[in-house]
Structure 1
Amino acid sequence: MSERRQQGEDDGATNDVAGCGCSIVLLAIGYFIAARFGNDPANTGKSAIALGGGFCLFLGLMVGRQTWAERRERRRTWVASVMEQRTGVITWRDAELLAVQHMRALGFLDARHTGPGSDGGIDAIATGAVAQVKMHSKPVGRPDIQRLVGAADGGQPVILMFYSFSGFTSTAHTYADERSILLFSFDRAGTVRALNGAATRALRSV
């Protein structure tokens, strides 16, 4: 795990603890107030206090929900060390090198760029894995993923990965899920996000 990734995990864990703690405190306060003052609806003063307790309960639930959502997003996200590259991910070549870097982070240490004209539709390859990268303005469709499957059909089982700048269509998602193909999106800052279950499980091992 890279130093930058480790720092992000540490910061995220700290935020999780703080968020969960705040949520629990708010829920406890809200429950206590609602139970203590909510049993006499005819008393306007007590009703107002009970309403404040209900608000604390609501706020506690919202804090807990936000903490959980942020935790899920972190587990779906990997950030490359592109800060040294002032231009970030601009060209298709940058995108393919980002995919190679990401594959290595996933444990495919011998991942390499295949080079133009020699890949048969595969942009990055490693022992046990191949990847296709698209930096198009439109979502990748099912036919592109099918072509990746055809290009990788060499008799040996490999993990298939697809990286897209603009995401994937719903039919592409369905086909990828049926084939256990890892779908990722990326942006110009070098952030890679898992877009299906297979990809999320892979990112959790980084």
Structure 2
Amino acid sequence: MSESEALEKVLEMLHARILLVQGQNAASLRSEEESARKRAAAALKNQEAEKAAVERRAEEGRWISDEVQAPRSDVILARRESALSAIVLRYPGLVDNPSVYGEFADRAWRATFQRNHALSESEALEKVLEMLHARILLVQGQNAASLRAEEESARKRAAAALEKVKSDRIAAKLRADEESQAITDEQRWLNLPLERLKAQKEDAEWRAGAAKRKVAAAKREAARKVKVEADQQAYAEWCRKNKPKQLHITDWDKAERNAEMWMRFMGFVDARQTGAGADGGIDVVATGAAAQVKREGYDIGRPALQGFKGAAWEYEVHLFFSSSGYTKQAVDFANSVKMELYVVGPYGEVTGGNQAALDRLERVTEPVWATP
């Protein structure tokens, strides 16, 4: 940068500084001028207020002096009445009787000046105004309390009247209920002989009907016994004719044929042999039932029953016929899976090997005409 350019930069900075200082000085000067004007205006206002206060005190002093020196003067009386009227009129909605409160204000006015003759007119008016306001509030409070007492008394009288009406209604209802009950009792006493006769008639009819029912029941019982005896005879005859005949079992085919006949006798009317071949341990089948037949020289054990159960899993009833007995483990397994175990004699007679088989033999299917 050249010397001339540096001087120009310095001059610009100096000029900006001068303008900033001048602006601050101007603002400070304006603020001081405004403050001086406000102080002068306040002093002038205070002087005027003091002057007005002096004039007002002088006027009040003259008014009080005139009243003290000449209390009977018509001017003073008019001025005082005007002041009192102004006091009373400040409560247009609170004063019910302006004349009464006017007298109270007049007494307060006199009492105020008797206690302190140095009071100004405005101060005296304020004192009287306070006393009058307190008096009005007191009277209003008394009136409000009296009004509340009258309202409470009216509510109590209304409540008492309502209670009396309720009690009268209850008493009237009780009297009506008593009269109705008396009429009902009288009617009951009048109808008692008729009801007694009606009851005696119904009792006689019931007794006659009971005798008839007893005879009818005896007849039905006799007929039932006759029918039961006839059914027993018919069932015995049916068993004699349909019970499988003795069959000397000498081979597997006769053993399976004997099991087929006994299953039909037990109610599985479509029982049939499966025939020779791979039958999976099932020798006789019927609708919902399957049977296996064994001819062994030893007691049948649990494994044989388990194998038959697994082969005939799709059938609901499982019957096992053996020419020998069963081990205890086999019987316990059969009872647990509800399998029926039968023992076959040498001539085809069948007996129960567990409780399920015994129950089946006791309830062998009867003919349709037999009594259940």
TM-score range, shorter chain: 0.5 to 0.7
Displacement of 1:204 after TM fit?
A: 0.9
Partner SS state of residue 167, structure 1:
coil
Q: CA deviation at 1:188?
A: 1.3
Which of residues 296, 308, 316 is equivalent to 1:136? 296
Distance 1:118 1:188, change over 3 A: same
Alignment partner of 1:168 out of 318, 322, 326: 326
Q: Which residue of 2 aligns with 1:188?
A: 346
* Distance in 1 of aligned mates of 2:341 and 2:268: 16
**Quick one: distance in 1 between partners of 2:268 and 2:278?**
20
Provide the secondary structure at the position in 2 that maps to 1:120. Answer: coil
SS at match of 2:319: strand
Identify the structure with bigger relative contact order (alpha carbons < 8 Å, sequence gap 6+): 1
1:108 aligns with 2:108: no
More helix by percentage: 2
Q: Which structure 2 segments of 5+ residues have no match?
A: 1-234, 365-372
Aligned position for 1:150: 310
Q: Quick one: structure 1 residues 119 and 2, their matched pair in 2 at CA, closer, same or farther if it must change by over 3 Å?
A: farther
Q: Which has the higher strand share?
A: 1
Identity within the alignment, %? 39
Q: CA deviation at 1:169?
A: 0.7
Cα distance per residue 1:90-125 (max 9 Å; x no partner): 111111111000100110000000011141110000
Matching of residues 1-206 of structure 1 within 5 Å:
3=237, 5-6=239-240, 80-82=244-246, 88-154=248-314, 157-206=315-364
1:189 Cα deviation after fit: 1.2
Structure 1 gap segments, 5+ residues each: 8-77
Alpha-carbon distance in 2 for matches of 1:191, 1:93 = 16
Give CA-to-partner distance per residue, 1:129-151, whole Å, 9 cap, x none.
00000011011110000011110
**Residues in 1 aligned to 2:339 and 2:236: alpha-carbon distance in whole angstroms:** 25
Cα RMSD (Å): 2.0
The 3-state SS of whatever aligns with 1:180 is: coil
Distance 1:89 1:167 in 2: 16
Normalising by structure 2, we get a TM-score of 0.33
Query: How much does 1:80 deviate?
Result: 2.7
How far apart are residue 3 of structure 1 and its match?
4.0
Whichever residue aligns with residue 327 of structure 2, its letter is T
Match of 1:33 in 2: none
**Structure 1 residues 70-96: Cα deviation after superposition (integer angstroms, max 9, x where no partner):** xxxxxxxx96302xx5xx111111111
Name the SS of the counterpart of 1:174 in structure 2.
helix
Change (3 A) 1:4 1:89: farther
- Separation of aligned partners in 2, 1:127 and 1:2: 27
Task: Please tell me the residue identity of whatever aligns with 2:288.
Answer: G
Contact map agreement 1:110 1:126 (CA 8 A) in 2: yes
CA contact (8 A) 2:244 2:265 kept: no
What SS class does the counterpart of residue 107 from structure 1 fall into?
A: coil
Structure exhibiting the larger radius of gyration computed from Cα positions:
2
Deviation digits for residues 158-199 of structure 1, max 9, x if unmatched? Answer: 100000101111100000010110000001111100111100
CA distance in 1, matches of 2:326, 2:282: 18
